[in-house]
Amino acid sequence: MTDTTPTPEILPADAPQQGREATDATTVHREDYQPPAFWIDSVALTFDLDPAKTRVLNKMQVRRNMAVPAQPLRLDGEGLNLARVLVNGQGASFKLERGQLVLSNLPEGDAPFDLEIFTTCQPEKNTQLSGLYVSQGTFFTQCEAEGFRRITYFLDRPDVMSVYTVTLRADKAAYPVLLSNGNLVEQGELEDGRHFARWSDPFKKPSYLFALVAGPLVAREQRITARNGREHLLQIYVRAGDLEKTEHAMRSLMASIAWDETRFGLPLDLDRFMIVATSDFNMGAMENKGLNIFNTKFVLASQATATDQDFANVESVIGHEYFHNWTGNRITCRDWFQLSLKEGLTVFRDQEFSMDMAGSASARAVKRIEDVRLLRTMQFAEDAGPMAHPVRPDSYQEINNFYTLTIYEKGAEVVRMMHTLVGEAGFRKGMALYFERHDGQAVTCDDFAQAIADANPQSPLAVHLEQFKRWYSQAGTPHVQAEGQYDAAAQTYTLTLTQTTPPTPGQGEKHPLIIPVRLGLLGRNGAALPLQLQSEQGVQELGLEATLVLHERQQSFTFTQVGESPVPSLLRGFSAPVVLHQNLDDDALETLLQYDSDPFNRWEASQQWAQRIIVQALADGDAQAAPRLPERYLAALRHLLADAQLDAAFKDLVLTLPSEGYIAEQLDSVDPQRIHAVREALQDHLAQALHAQWQTVWEQHHDTGAYQPDAHSAGRRALAGKALAMLVRDARRTGDAVWPGKAYQSFKDAGNMTDRFNALSALVQAGHPLAEPALERFHQVFRGESLVLDKWFQLQASAPAQGQGEAASVLARVQRLMQHPDFSLRNPNRARSLIFAYAQGNPAGFHRADGAGYQFWAEQVIALDAINAQVAARLARALDRWAKLAEPYRTAARAAIARVAAHEPLSKDVREIVQKALAAPAA
């Protein structure tokens, strides 16, 4: 099962071999899409489950697709032992060619025939966690994108949809619970202590949505009646000790069901909806029809073990997978290039769900800011690096490498722009048309955009549809330059917007996009000015806010009757995923920060201001004394902190300086140590200059009463945590022992994990001597809680060095922790909590002048690749941006990537990443 040999074998037979430059023979191209030569109408699978050798009998009803020329049937398979192939009950001749099972002499014509295939596989040896595997004595499957072929031979592609009947047979004592998709139709006893269960899924589905689970699990159950009167059974399956941690997940599932009914009119279409949690999982969760499988991290939550962030993540991921039931499962992707059809849309839906759950306008803005922060830090970096690809990619070597921030987060922004261009009601109409047209089909991103536009024929989306769709085909983040010109005599304000998109690998030429720019104008006293836009038709009264549609490279918009030189508030709510350049002075930023009616842009003003200060400090050079924050900026922050109208969570975001990763992306040449030093110095100054305010904030916010994970109380805890961290940080300067003591106390006595963890990290991040005993105690208390241990590893991997000398370095600490009895490279969550947290979450610890961090990274990529290629390929991406690094980091980073690239054997997952990284332009 763990075949990681470079595999021309699993190349689809029709993949192009020649006539293209610069891509490998294993590259799959979107343009080469061909409909399948056969359909598989139904599948009956029988599993005899055994960890060492599971037997799989696969009986299919197959029929030729008469719309394409007659050709052999080529079934995908990987790591299977083939025992028997029967066609209409007779032994059939077949070949194994490049991993595929090829059947040539099949019945002619369009009449269906029976195809029976018997194979075995070894789930206990499956460390890739793709296909059928065993985790802690329970069988699980993961089939997206191409894991089903590791279970049986099949047309493993999303446009082949079949009805499944699944019979599971296993030892009853070891595997009392037997689950698969759909409805349980039969169960009973077998000989020798074995039992069986038969499941039937009424909906046609592609193979990637198949799932089975078998093991000793228990379930929280809930019966609900939907709006339409239909009854459903909801179940959340976990290991016996975890049942009390599933209440929040169940509540989130019920909220998701209600939300999709209300917001989109989409009801649950199954009698039974199951979620199962496993601690060994490559990603967050999987939307298998009726049987979602989740990483425990996104199911289990109790106030003692989970932070507010964990609670919010559970709600959002449960929502996401549930929403896939319509956007992904009922309507699926024609091919994997269309992945964003389901992922971008479903992320948009889960973002809206979380916003609606958050309630108040400012809590909604907090969620939006968090989403945009992720997009701008991570996706913009991806879009500017060697793995840049369009939302609908043109080619891939390994599809699992394309479950990216671009497909998910930028894809969601593309859907959000459509929503902006057609309006809330128009979008709902568009969704209705999409389901009317395509329910039960496997379709493309074009089909989706067409449905939204057709439902709104007068909208700017419909008018500019072809151009809008460039968002799907063009990679790279667009830049928009805004220049404002005020004419006092004419009382006009002219805004000129210019768009450009930098070239990306393989895509040199870029064309203008459709960019919705939501905006308002503020007077110098902060009041919103009425917008009167001059157009060919005369003057349009637009009220206090409008959305301009930029469609040319450069366009000017003139507003009339503007009584004073206004402060423009552009791209409100981040109305398009672009980098906005505008030269606002401190006065303008202060006005926006204090008065803008759009909370997103208030936050944005604070970030731009901070960014400018940081860039200036970086430019000032090393010789200068510790950089400081200007008094005016500090005064604005003090003012904001004292504003009783604002949500604590919002204040916390405004008071957070841009991250080191975000700062790095704004620079041409990156010295991670220098960025760290400057940001740390400014943080120290923020701690010092606002000391009195931090004390007040702590006093006012640290008691949040009985624990509730709602957005409002979570915001209070976040702000209190920030205040405590600042006070402990400032104690390094003052030598004060009181605040560190209070932090230790709060760590010990906290009534919930958020407060406890915030206090612990305040000590660890400040490198205080109390950090060590606190970490020890934390491990002692939570040694049986694996998700909490992940936090323990992660905190240490992402904290600064705790002293001088190599032994005190972060790398030395990480290497020691790898020897800890609780560490295992095989468990993806644990590997992520230590190794990824170091390589991706601790720039100053990782980017060492001696290159030792990079060497460690290379070793771990190679070690992981032998276990789990998908996880290894994620880690491999940590050095994507090597070409931007200053010396000596750059050369050392490149050498480490080259070392991975030269290693044999290497999975095609990792190979694609490192080859693309090495091909990055030299600048």
Would strands 515-522 and 546-550 be described as parallel, antiparallel, or unpaired?
antiparallel
CB nearer to ligand B3K: pick between 647 and 865? 865
CB nearer to Zn ion: pick between 162 and 346? 346
Tell which residue, 650, 520, 643, has the closest CA to residue 592: 520
Q: Which residues of 274-295 are buried (b: 16+ CB within 10 A; e: fewer)?
A: bbbbbbbbbbebbbbbbbbbbb
Under rule CB under 5 A, which residues in 337-366 are in contact with Zn ion?
A: 343, 346
Tell which residue, 616, 541, 603, 535, has the closest CA to residue 569: 603
Out of 248, 320, 367, 373, the only residue in the binding site for ligand B3K (CB under 6 A) is 320
343 is a site residue for ligand B3K (CB under 6 A): yes
Q: How many other C-beta atoms can be found within 10 angstroms of the C-beta atom of residue 902? A: 10
Catalytic entry in 146, 287, 321, 398: 321
Taking CB under 5 A as the binding criterion, the range among 336-344, 417-425, 582-590, 888-896 that sits at the site for Zn ion is 336-344
Amino acid at 643: D
CB nearer to ligand B3K: pick between 392 and 701? 392
Closest distance to ligand B3K from the beta carbon of 143 (Å): 9
In angstroms, the first-to-last Cα distance of the chain is: 41
Q: Give 224-231's long-range contacts (Cβ < 8 A, gap of 24+).
A: 224/254, 224/257, 226/257, 226/261, 226/267, 226/268, 227/261, 227/267, 228/267, 230/267, 230/268, 231/271
If residue 272 lies in a helix (H) or strand (E), which one and from where to where? strand 272-278
**Partner in contact with 400, chosen from Zn ion, ligand B3K, none, beta carbon below 5 to 8 Å by kind:** ligand B3K
If residue 490 lies in a helix (H) or strand (E), which one and from where to where? none
DSSP state of 658: P
Sequence-distant (≥ 6) Cβ neighbours of residue 891 within 8 angstroms:
none
CB nearer to ligand B3K: pick between 333 and 655? 333
313 is a site residue for ligand B3K (CB under 6 A): no
x-or-dash string of contact with ligand B3K, 465-504, rule CB under 6 A: ----------------------------------------
Residue 905: cis peptide before it, omega within 30 degrees of 0: yes
Show the tokens assigned to 14. Answer: 């029709």
CB nearer to ligand B3K: pick between 647 and 912? 912
Taking CB under 6 A as the binding criterion, the range among 58-66, 282-290, 305-313, 807-815 that sits at the site for ligand B3K is 282-290
Under rule CB under 5 A, which residues in 589-648 are in contact with Zn ion?
A: none
140 is a site residue for ligand B3K (CB under 6 A): no
Q: How many residues bind ligand B3K (CB under 6 A)?
A: 12
Closest distance to ligand B3K from the beta carbon of 320 (Å): 5
Taking CB under 5 A as the binding criterion, the range among 189-197, 261-269, 335-343, 547-555 that sits at the site for Zn ion is 335-343
Amino acid at 533: L
255 is a site residue for ligand B3K (CB under 6 A): no
* Backbone angles phi and psi of 567, in degrees to 5: -100, 120
CB nearer to ligand B3K: pick between 180 and 316? 316
Taking CB under 6 A as the binding criterion, the range among 280-288, 364-372, 492-500, 575-583 that sits at the site for ligand B3K is 280-288
Sequence-distant (≥ 6) Cβ neighbours of residue 70 within 8 angstroms:
37, 64, 108
Out of 15, 57, 283, 579, the only residue in the binding site for ligand B3K (CB under 6 A) is 283
> What span, in angstroms and rounded, lies between the C-alpha atoms of 168 and 180?
8
Out of 50, 78, 144, 310, the only residue in the binding site for ligand B3K (CB under 6 A) is 144
* Backbone angles phi and psi of 305, in degrees to 5: -120, -15
909 is a site residue for ligand B3K (CB under 6 A): no
403 is a site residue for ligand B3K (CB under 6 A): yes
Q: How many residues bind Zn ion (CB under 5 A)?
A: 2
CB nearer to ligand B3K: pick between 285 and 576? 285
CB nearer to ligand B3K: pick between 285 and 300? 285
Closest distance to Zn ion from the beta carbon of 285 (Å): 8
Residue for token pair 């990480």 = 814
205 is a site residue for ligand B3K (CB under 6 A): no
Tell which residue, 223, 211, 212, 203, has the closest CA to residue 270: 203
Closest distance to Zn ion from the beta carbon of 347 (Å): 7
Closest distance to Zn ion from the beta carbon of 346 (Å): 5
C-alpha distances in Å from residue 82, one per residue of 48, 123, 140, 586: 15, 15, 21, 71
> What span, in angstroms and rounded, lies between the C-alpha atoms of 155 and 148?
9
Side-by-side strand order, sheet with 131-135: 131-135, 138-142, 212-215, 177-180
Amino acid at 851: G
CB nearer to ligand B3K: pick between 324 and 908? 324
562 is a site residue for ligand B3K (CB under 6 A): no
Taking CB under 6 A as the binding criterion, the range among 64-72, 319-327, 521-529, 669-677 that sits at the site for ligand B3K is 319-327
350 is a site residue for ligand B3K (CB under 6 A): no
Tell which residue, 182, 207, 211, has the closest CA to residue 276: 211
Out of 11, 115, 151, 286, the only residue in the binding site for ligand B3K (CB under 6 A) is 286
**Partner in contact with 144, chosen from Zn ion, ligand B3K, none, beta carbon below 5 to 8 Å by kind:** ligand B3K
By CB atoms closer than 10 A (0-12, 13-18, 19+), residue 644 is exposed
> What span, in angstroms and rounded, lies between the C-alpha atoms of 293 and 283?
10
Tell which residue, 395, 461, 391, 389, has the closest CA to residue 422: 461
What's the angle, vertex CA 57, arms to CA 56 and CA 60, rounded to 5?
130
Closest distance to Zn ion from the beta carbon of 137 (Å): 28
CB nearer to Zn ion: pick between 343 and 590? 343
Closest distance to Zn ion from the beta carbon of 427 (Å): 19
**Partner in contact with 286, chosen from ligand B3K, Zn ion, none, beta carbon below 5 to 8 Å by kind:** ligand B3K
Closest distance to ligand B3K from the beta carbon of 829 (Å): 15
- 552 annotated active-site: no
Q: How many other C-beta atoms can be found within 10 angstroms of the C-beta atom of residue 542? A: 16
Under rule CB under 6 A, which residues in 519-548 are in contact with ligand B3K?
A: none
Out of 321, 383, 730, 909, the only residue in the binding site for ligand B3K (CB under 6 A) is 321
Tell which residue, 241, 248, 308, 321, has the closest CA to residue 281: 321
Closest distance to ligand B3K from the beta carbon of 252 (Å): 15
CB nearer to Zn ion: pick between 348 and 694? 348
What's the angle, vertex CA 633, arms to CA 627 and CA 639, rounded to 5?
140
421 is a site residue for ligand B3K (CB under 6 A): no
CB nearer to Zn ion: pick between 341 and 913? 341
> What span, in angstroms and rounded, lies between the C-alpha atoms of 836 and 839?
5
287 is a site residue for ligand B3K (CB under 6 A): yes
CA dihedral 602, 603, 609, 611 (to 10 degrees): -160
> What span, in angstroms and rounded, lies between the C-alpha atoms of 758 and 754?
6
**Partner in contact with 722, chosen from Zn ion, ligand B3K, none, beta carbon below 5 to 8 Å by kind:** none
**Partner in contact with 683, chosen from Zn ion, ligand B3K, none, beta carbon below 5 to 8 Å by kind:** none
CB nearer to ligand B3K: pick between 156 and 343? 343
**Partner in contact with 174, chosen from Zn ion, ligand B3K, none, beta carbon below 5 to 8 Å by kind:** none
453 is a site residue for ligand B3K (CB under 6 A): no
> What span, in angstroms and rounded, lies between the C-alpha atoms of 778 and 246?
23
Closest distance to ligand B3K from the beta carbon of 4 (Å): 16
Chain contacts with ligand B3K (rule: CB under 6 A) = 144-145, 283, 285-287, 320-321, 324, 343, 400, 403
Known catalytic residues? 321
Chain contacts with Zn ion (rule: CB under 5 A) = 343, 346
